[in-house]
Amino acid sequence: MWCFLMNVAPVVIFKTLAESFYEATLLMVVYSRCNGTRDNITHNGMQSESAQFYLIYYIISYLVPLLPAMFLGNLADRSSYKILTVIPLLGYLLGRSFLLFTEIFELPIYVMFIGNTITGLCGGYPAYWTGISAITALRSTNNNRSVRLSSMDFTSGMAALLGSILSGHIFMVKNNHTGLPITVLCLTLYTLSVVYSAFIMKYPSVTGSEKKRLLPSPSEEKDMRAIFYLFAAANIFYLGMLGGENVISLFVLKPPLSWDAVWVGYGNAAANMMYFTSFLGVLIGSKYLSDTSLIHIGIVSNCAGMVMMASVNQTYLFFVARGVMMFSCVPLPTMRSQLSKVTDEASYGYTFAWMQSSTAFMSVISTIVFNSVYPITLEWYSGFCLLLSAGISLLSMLPTCFFHFRMKQIGYARISEE
């Protein structure tokens, strides 16, 4: 019983399931509202309006939490890591409640911007995942820390997979497909995550000596060139991958696929299945391949799948493309593992905070670029943004090669040797 109460996995499961239900419902509600804004609106018009909504929505999601997350992180170091779970999860509960109000009172869909801002002001995803990572790291040793941290990504991915499969079916229950049942279930799961993290879960205590060990040490000599290569590779790959994934969520709603909520759920499940296949890829491949080879396999897998996705005109081809992308989740965790090997352990928090901040900023750029280009290219080739995604992601192979050559000069241990 004590081990269960010390486990952070239930929080991850509750929150991820809730988020899967919320994202699927929001997508269908936004698309439905865009369909009802004007008479005789075309599918391309609905796609353009939806893209404009998500452009603003994602910018709020990525930018607003940055300063609150940094503040909560500093506050948690002085008091308790409970701050990094309870406050962000409470923000999710309050912010996501606006979707329920929007459906019940038929409010304009842009009211969701207010809810998203509330979630961001409470730290949002950056603060929440920082808390999960910090708690997991404190309960692990140097030898098993990579596995423990990876297990949280795996748990989140599997919960998202289950949520994606269920979301479409639950969305279609009663109320003329308005999404009220799944929204209520979503908020219930958020409530469970808040209650568990606030009153049930036991948090690790950090002694003064441990805090000193975990704090960044400016005097430590770092290989800044290697760190720069990893930051560049991670951000370039994330820029392309995220842009493509954001476009895919709209791409499947228009002809020739014209998916409903059930198929959207299956599509999201196929995307989340990549966490499982990527985990297996690293687990098995690390015994025989270098980290750089694993990263390149993941990059090529993602790019090949995006190129194939650009010409998808039947549902089964979508899932074939997702199959090609089975190792797309390998690069980023492997890059984080590489980063941990070129920085001192006492600087992990400081270094990873900068990594997360840089990828959050890159998320804003990706959203602006892809959600602006996508409506423009709908008339002549709707798959252009997916090709653009593949091209940008492929560029990330250059800094990984530079990093590989850099490590040959100073020596470097593979993941499998940890």
Q: Which two tokens stand for residue 120?
A: 């961001």
What pLDDT shows up at residue 301? Answer: 97
Look at residue 416 and tell me whether its pLDDT is greater than 50. Answer: no
Q: Where are the domains of the chain?
A: 1-214, 217-418
What pLDDT shows up at residue 268? Answer: 85
Q: What is the CATH architecture assignment of 217-418?
A: Up-down Bundle (1.20)
- Whether residue 61 contacts residue 124, with contact meaning beta carbons closer than 8 Å, is answered with yes
What pLDDT shows up at residue 152? Answer: 81
Look at residue 277 and tell me whether its pLDDT is greater than 50. Answer: yes
pLDDT band at 151 (very low <50, low <70, confident <90, very high): confident
Mean pLDDT value across residues 385-406:
94
Pick 1-214's CATH classification: 3.90.1150.10, 3.20.20.480, 1.20.1250.20, 3.40.470.10.
1.20.1250.20
Topology alike, domains 1-214 and 217-418: yes
The larger pLDDT score, comparing residue 83 to residue 187, is at 187
Over residues 226-265, the pLDDT tens digits come to 889 999 999 999 999 999 998 998 889 888 898 987 898 8
Over residues 192-210, the pLDDT tens digits come to 999 999 999 988 765 544 4
What pLDDT shows up at residue 143? Answer: 56
pLDDT averaged over every residue in the chain: 83
What pLDDT shows up at residue 413? Answer: 47
> Which amino acid is residue 186, in one-letter code?
C
Over residues 36-51, the pLDDT tens digits come to 555 566 667 777 888 8
- Whether residue 240 contacts residue 389, with contact meaning beta carbons closer than 8 Å, is answered with yes
Distance CA 104, CA 3 (A): 41
Taking the mean position of all CA atoms in its chain, how far away is CA 164?
14
The beta-strand segments (E) located in 149-274 are none
The larger pLDDT score, comparing residue 216 to residue 322, is at 322
